[in-house]
Copies of this chain bind each other. A is one copy, B any other.
Amino acid sequence: MASVLPASNTSMRSDRNTYVGKSFVHVKNPYLDSMDEDVLYHLDLGTKTHNLPEMFGDVKFVCVGGSPNRMKAFALFMHKELRLTDSEEDIKDICAGTDRYCMYKIGPVLSISHGMGIPSISIMLHELIKLLYHARCSDVTIIRIGTSGGIGIAPGSVVITDEAVDSFFKPRFEQVILDNIVTRSTELDKELAEEIFNCSKEISNFPTLIGHTMCTYDFYEGQGRLDGALCSFSREKGLDYLKRAYNAGIRNIEMESTVFAAMCRLCGLKAAVVCVTLLNRLECDQINSPHDVLVEYQKRPQLLISKFIKQRLGLCDQTS
């Protein structure tokens, strides 16, 4: 696969701006290096069966999202945008041996699906971070490009997360380790969020804002919806919860951002969350916009992040 990276990584803008030298992806596990083999079971990859440094050593951008089809579409889109010389047919699912996740590599960009919810993305992140570590990747930026429910903003708006908060509006992720609960910070990279926001200004008619994102364990009862199989609260209580969320600075709700922020932060990955809103939860619960409208909305984070990546790679003049 053709590389669009300059020969020396240190000439990359991210390096100049934020640190001197390489920042390697790291694990926080003293046992990993002593393992004879590491099977990344849910990715169908492993240290003995695959040459991970050769396959992934040049990865600089990792984009993750819930839906496999969407992440394949993003891979094809990036292939076009980066003007790589290899054929579109060469873009194969690297995790084809499993149906848990899909993964595509487009030059320095990795596009991976993570399913829905904290546990699903957490499994993927453990194995992805180990993959990047085994591949000796450095200076990696990771971005979740997803869908969400908006609060008090027009459907189709793109929210760049400044703070991922839980159902209690707290910027924390509670990780159960054995039978203890450990609280982790969900702080995201502020400079990265600003950089992506600045990119959005260059796209016309592209409603984008920076705000808090609430991450829940459930789509229905946990997000104050009245249309699940179970609903035990009144319309007023549900709306009051969403309004309190709005007043706390929350502009959208999704189901992965807290653990994503917490794990990436611990392992040296600069992380951002960029989600489009499919509806305004102060107005309705059901996602019933026409199919083509929803499809267009879902392309927005892809468009923005493609612009961001091209800018980082110094390719903007050539393609936009």
Q: Which of B41, B120, B127, B224 contacts A120 (CB 8 A)?
A: B120
Q: A230 contacts B287, CB within 8 Å?
A: no
Whether A38 is near chain B, meaning CB under 8 Å from some CB there, is yes
Answer yes or no: A179 CB below 8 A from chain B CBs. Answer: yes
Q: Is the interface of A mostly helix, strand, loop or mixed?
A: loop
A12 interface hit (Cβ, 8 Å): no
CB distance B232 to A177 under 8 Å? yes
Are A230 and B29 in contact, with the CB atoms below 8 A? yes
Q: How far is the CB of A315 from chain B (nearest CB, A)?
A: 30
Contacting residues of chain A (209-223) with chain B, CB-CB under 8 angstroms = 216-222
Q: Is A229 an interface residue (CB 8 A)?
A: yes
Contacts of A175 in B (CB 8 A): 218, 221-222
| Given A99-B67, A119-B255, CB of A177 within 8 Å of CB of B219 | no
Identical chains bound together, number:
2
Considering the chains assembled together, what is the distance between the CA atoms of A116 and B130 in angstroms? 20
A-side interface size class: 35 or more
Q: Is the CB of B286 within 8 A of A29?
A: no
Complex: chain B residue closest to A127, CB-CB: B229
Interface contact B120-A116, CB-CB below 8 Å: yes
Decide yes or no whether A227 CB sits under 8 A from chain B.
yes
Choice from B30, B116, B220, B288 contacting A126 with Cβ under 8 Å: B220
Q: In the docked arrangement, what's the CA distance between A241 and B218, Å?
A: 28
Instruction: Give 10 closest A-B pairs by Cβ, nearest first.
Output: A117-B119, A129-B229, A29-B231, A178-B241, A126-B228, A31-B226, A69-B99, A116-B120, A177-B221, A126-B229
